Amino acid sequence: MRSFDIPEFYRSPIISRVKAKRKALDPRKQDFTPTELRFPNVHIRLARHFGFCFGVENAIEISYKAVDENPGRRIFLMSQMIHNPEVNDDLESRGVRFLHDTLGKELVSLDTLTEKDVVIVPAFGATVELARRMEELGVDVHKYNTTCPFVEKVWKRSAQLGGKDYTVVIHGKPTHEETRATFSHAAETGHALVVKDDKEAEILAQWMESDRHDVDAFWTSFRGRTTSDFDPERDLRRVGVVNQTTMLASDTQAIADRIKQAVETDPEGEFANTRDTLCYATNDNQSATQGALSAGGADIALVVGGYNSSNTSHLVELCEEHMPTFFVRNELEWQEDGVHHFNMHSGQMQVTENPLPDSGGDEGVPTILITSGASCPDASVERVLRKVLAHYGGGNVESVLTEFERTQT
């Protein structure tokens, strides 16, 4: 796979060595067992895959290239480039400004843009409407387009389905930038509908299995989630399901299976197979987290990443089912009054004075599971790891890494 030129300060000497050794032994990524780093007073368990994915590294490389190539020019990102505060803050410190917030609210008037301005398309992509508006203003949206190739793959598949009179059901968070962009692209060739989760999918499936005449019931659940002129009685017979690429793959598949079951109750129904649109990186990170959880024996989990990162939040959900889990942005959440961490369910920050256990495991040594989302720099994970080590009195990192490399076969 291609390597990218990303700033060195996003990399980690510790994580790089671990990943390099695991990759050398398992180049086809078939082994999802975690990495164990055994320090005297704490065992660190690292998920097999975590951190920057192909799409994120591609976006970072292009964004920093745009900064380097355009001194003195105004540079804008359509919205957050990825959902990680460290990356976005660093780009802002270099003069990059955001045109919109994550919900699409305009932060800079588009009418002030000129053809001399540089506009970077974020990894989530852009809606068709916004791209056209940029072109009308004479702004080049192609030179620094960081849209993830796997997001574009979903768009192409959606367009194919629309062109064959299938309605595209999008499993995603309705307000997320990627879902909004995918919806926009799907609407270019056909009809689309957004479902947030399995509960909404079940409501949709049950409506499809009914006599379909209670249109008011459909709109009670899905008003504002469909393309214009959507007719549920007509447009839910030929259906395909795609997803916001950062959603749990298992959830998307379960939703697709349920919708397929509903479609097949209709003599005129047809369901399109779209399994090939699921993102490999999201799948790998989720499978690696499951592999780390299956290994058992960890006392707590630390999940590192941006609090508005969808793919990271799903890793938190997986870990929460098995152990106390703390969602931390980075090492700066270790403060005088304790560790600050995000509660996804309340949407609020919490403070735990000392979340790290004093003992645990068969040997009396606690085991801490650490993973991160696809938009989180490895450097952030290393700094969190060092915070954990400091709590347990430190340790000789070099000797532990050397022992890890020696024992891997």
Question: How confident is the model at residue 287, as a pLDDT?
Answer: 94
- Is-catalytic flag, 178? yes
Average pLDDT over residues 311-334: 96
- Residue bearing the bigger pLDDT, 103 or 201: 201
Which is the catalytic residue, given 177, 178, 200, 331? Answer: 178
pLDDT digits (tens, 9 = 90+) for 174-221: 999 999 999 999 999 999 999 999 999 999 999 999 987 899 999 999
Name the one residue in this structure whose structure tokens are 């022992």: 403
Q: Which of 28, 50, 30, 46 is nearest to 38 (CA)?
A: 46
Domains 8-53+281-407 and 149-277 share a fold: yes
For position 358, what pLDDT does the model report?
A: 87
Please tell me the predicted confidence (pLDDT) of residue 362: 63
| Whether residue 36 has pLDDT greater than 90 | yes
What's this model's pTM, rounded to 2 decimal places?
A: 0.90
The conformation of residue 103, written as its DSSP 8-state character, comes to T
Tokens at residue 110, please? 């588009």
Q: Which one has a higher pLDDT value, 80 or 384?
A: 384
Which amino acid is residue 258, in one-letter code?
R
In order of 62, 175, 347, the CA distances from 308 in angstroms are: 22, 12, 10
Q: What is the pLDDT of residues 343-369, one digit of tens each?
A: 999 999 999 999 999 877 667 899 999
Q: Which CATH class is domain 149-277?
A: alpha beta
CATH annotation of 8-53+281-407? 3.40.1010.20
Collapsing DSSP states into helix, strand and coil, what is residue 213?
A: coil
CATH topology of domain 54-136: Rossmann fold (3.40.50)
In the chain, domain spans: 8-53+281-407, 54-136, 149-277
Beta bridge partners of 327: 303
